[in-house]
């Protein structure tokens, strides 16, 4: 038993936080005979309780942040979070949109970023390989990979979206209600 | 009784053997399934790696779960699966508790892991798990009927033709292979019953096309939705052992021939090895037909369709098999 077994059996849960389905299709494509991630012992699971890796797509639409945080907390440790696609990394074409609370790393700590709109399946698989390395690091630290969303980042979140909120004044109250 | 107590001492051995072979067959199933889909598939030993990984994961008990039942269910499922192995003839030799159990006991023991899953699902405090548990119960009600018909038909045939033996005894089945007791009509009937049992197998094991209770794409893993870590590993092992046991039951009822006797090998160890290998080959054939092939070839049914398939078509086929055997017994005596 060791991290070696861990990285050869990564079960992946896929969270869509408002993606256009482009990245999601590419994730599904990585299961197909052409890419076949099951070769590496990876498989898609239906519940975060079974997952080792969270694949998060989409720019985190308003209302999805709580759900995403909940899914993150439901996932048993050790775990890694991967942000798939430009939306989740920067907001991409939805940058500064009034109904975004993302990008993803403002909501949950992200370990691996996979760029692309959408990223190719090769890029996603490469990202998972990097996630292996992350998991090994976490194992070496002996902290069982326990990571909590950083308080500073949460504060940054309200600051970051301020300009957007000011433009659409109505949503400011909505933001407070959360 | 002394024999039984000695047999109890090798219960852990049976458990370990069941787990090892169950996981091996699970790996084989995954590789072959992948090959049938033109994929390379995982390594053969992937299920072992999966279990080792699950044992390293955090074990979460949800806040609104009934903790004791939630934790007890996976243990019960694994224990019931291993208990099942004790009553089935394995590796070309008799069952460990030979004479203590029969087919009726085995059929009821087969239910226990599913019941444990239902209990665990209801104890999870999750909507998905509750829906999954309800579906599991409905599926149990559905496949039990054709399964019972098949088992009772086999016993009836045995009791009519080989009067000296106990009808429901699994040991008697291996002494008098059913196929040798019948003519053409009965042969067709037995073939139908074997097909029905192979069809019941994926339902019994919760595999596609009858995996409604665990449907991960619609109800997020169903009964297993809230399970993680060690508990999930126990259910994983229970599933592997139960798959092995289910295949071994079909082998015991319908394919009971023994290589040691057939090849008339005199050396004890060579005979045991040949018997074990032949047994594993038969289990593999049953697993492939009843599990891998069905899983890959057919898509998941809805729960209403599962009931219709089992109570309608499978039961009708099983009754037809039973009638053919009855016709044989009445007409050709």
Helices (H), chain B: 2-9, 11-36, 46-56, 67-86, 103-123, 127-161, 170-175, 184-205, 229-254, 259-262, 268-287, 294-297, 303-307, 315-331
Place of tokens 């309780």: A49
Cβ within 8 Å of B, A 45-64: 45-47, 49-50, 52
Is residue B128 very low, low, confident or very high in pLDDT (cuts 50, 70, 90)? Answer: confident
CA separation for the pair B58, B229 (Å, rounded): 5
pLDDT value for A162: 35
Question: A9, B49: Cβ pair inside 8 Å?
Answer: yes
Which candidate in B57, B60, B300 is best for mutational testing of the A interface (most A CBs within 10 A)?
A: B57
The dihedral through the CA atoms of A101, B219, B65, B80 has a sign that is negative
Q: Please indicate whether, in this complex, the C-beta atoms of A49 and B232 are within 8 angstroms of each other.
A: yes
Nearest-angstrom CA–CA distance, B289 and B281:
12
Q: Which residue of A has its CA nearest to B128?
A: A47
User: How far is residue A21's CA from residue A10's CA, in Å, rounded to a whole number?
Assistant: 23
In the three-class reduction of DSSP (H, G, I as helix; E, B as strand; rest coil), residue B164 is classed as coil
CB-based contact B216 A36, cutoff 8 Å: no
Chain A, chain B: beta-carbon pairs less than 8 Å apart: 85
Interchain pair B227, A50: CB under 8 A: yes
Is B52–A144 a contact, with Cβ atoms under 8 angstroms apart? no
Which pLDDT value is given to residue B265?
A: 65
| pLDDT tens per residue across span B134-158 | 888 888 888 888 998 888 888 888 8
pLDDT of residue B300: 84
**A40: nearest CA partner in chain B:** B42
The CATH number covering residue A17 comes to: 3.40.50.12280
Instruction: Break chain B into its structural domains and give their ranges.
Output: 2-331
- State how far residue B181 is from chain A, nearest Cα, in angstroms: 46
Q: Find the domain containing A27 and state its range.
A: 3-177
Q: Which of A69, A49, A54 has the alpha carbon at shortest distance from A14?
A: A54
Whether ipTM exceeds 0.85: no
* pLDDT tens digits in sequence order for chain A, 178 residues long: 456 666 778 888 988 888 888 888 888 888 888 888 888 888 888 888 888 889 899 888 888 888 898 899 888 878 889 998 888 888 878 888 888 887 888 888 888 898 888 898 888 888 888 887 777 776 665 544 444 444 434 333 333 333 333 333 333 333 333 3
- Residue B57 to residue A77, Cβ atoms within 8 A: yes
Query: Which of B30, B39, B61 best tests the A interface by mutation, with the highest count of A CBs <10 A?
Result: B39
Question: Measured between CB atoms, does A144 come within 8 Å of chain B?
Answer: yes
Q: In sequence order, which residues have a C-beta less than 8 Å from that of residue A115 and are 6 or more positions away? A: A85, A86, A89, A123
CA–CA min distance B40, chain A (Å):
6
pLDDT average, residue stretch B112-119: 90
Q: Report chain B residues whose CB lies below 8 A from the CB of A78.
A: 56-58
**Residue A142 to residue B276: CA distance in whole angstroms:** 44
Residues of chain B with a CB closer than 8 angstroms to some CB in chain A: 30, 34, 37-43, 46, 49-50, 52-53, 55-60, 128, 215-217, 219-221, 224-229, 232
């Amino acid at each position: 038993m060791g991290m070696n077994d861990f990285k050869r059996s990564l079960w992946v849960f896929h969270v869509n936080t408002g993606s256009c389905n482009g990245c999601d299709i590419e994730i599904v494509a990585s299961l197909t005979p052409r890419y076949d991630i099951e070769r590496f012992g990876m498989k898609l699971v239906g519940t975060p309780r079974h997952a080792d890796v969270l694949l998060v797509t989409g720019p985190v639409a308003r209302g999805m942040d709580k759900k995403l945080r909940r899914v993150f907390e439901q996932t048993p440790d050790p775990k890694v979070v991967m942000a798939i696609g430009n939306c989740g990394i920067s907001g991409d074409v939805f940058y500064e949109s009034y109904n975004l609370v993302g990008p993803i790393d403002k909501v949950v700590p992200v370990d691996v970023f996979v760029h692309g709109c959408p990223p190719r399946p090769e890029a996603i698989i490469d990202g998972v390989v990097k996630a292996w390395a992350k998991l090994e690091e976490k194992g070496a630290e002996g902290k069982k990979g326990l990571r909590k969303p950083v308080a500073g980042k949460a504060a940054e979140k309200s600051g970051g979206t301020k300009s957007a909120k000011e433009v659409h004044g109505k949503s400011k109250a909505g933001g407070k209600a959360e | 009784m002394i024999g039984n107590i000695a047999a109890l001492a090798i219960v852990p051995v049976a458990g370990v053997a069941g787990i090892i072979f169950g996981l091996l067959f699970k790996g084989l199933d995954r590789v072959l399934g992948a090959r049938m889909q033109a994929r390379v598939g995982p390594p053969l030993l992937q299920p072992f790696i999966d279990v080792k990984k699950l044992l390293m994961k955090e074990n979460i008990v949800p806040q609104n779960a009934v903790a004791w039942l939630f934790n007890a269910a996976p243990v019960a499922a694994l224990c019931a699966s291993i208990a099942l192995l004790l009553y089935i003839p394995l590796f070309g030799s008799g069952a460990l508790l030979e004479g203590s159990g029969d087919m009726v006991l085995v059929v009821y023991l087969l239910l226990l892991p599913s019941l444990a899953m239902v209990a665990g699902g209801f104890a999870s405090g999750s909507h998905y798990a509750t829906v999954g548990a309800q579906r599991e119960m409905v599926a149990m009600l559905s496949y039990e009927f054709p399964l019972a018909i098949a088992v009772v038909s086999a016993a009836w045939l045995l009791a009519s033709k080989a009067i000296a033996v106990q009808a429901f005894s699994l040991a008697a089945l291996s002494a008098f292979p059913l196929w040798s007791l019948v003519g053409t009509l009965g042969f067709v009937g037995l073939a139908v019953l074997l097909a029905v049992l192979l069809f019941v197998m994926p339902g019994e094991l919760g595999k596609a096309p009858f995996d409604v209770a665990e449907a991960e794409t619609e109800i997020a893993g169903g009964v297993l939705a809230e399970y993680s870590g060690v508990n999930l590993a126990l259910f994983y092992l229970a599933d592997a052992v139960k798959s092995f046991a289910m295949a071994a039951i079909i082998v015991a009822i319908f394919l009971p021939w023994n290589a040691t006797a057939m090849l008339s090998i005199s050396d004890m160890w060579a005979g045991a090895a040949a018997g074990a290998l032949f047994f594993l080959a038969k289990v593999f054939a049953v697993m492939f037909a009843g599990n891998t092939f069905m899983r890959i070839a057919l898509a998941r049914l809805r729960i209403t369709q599962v009931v219709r398939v089992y109570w309608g078509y499978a039961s009708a086929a099983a009754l037809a098999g039973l009638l053919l055997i009855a016709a044989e017994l009445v007409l050709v005596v």
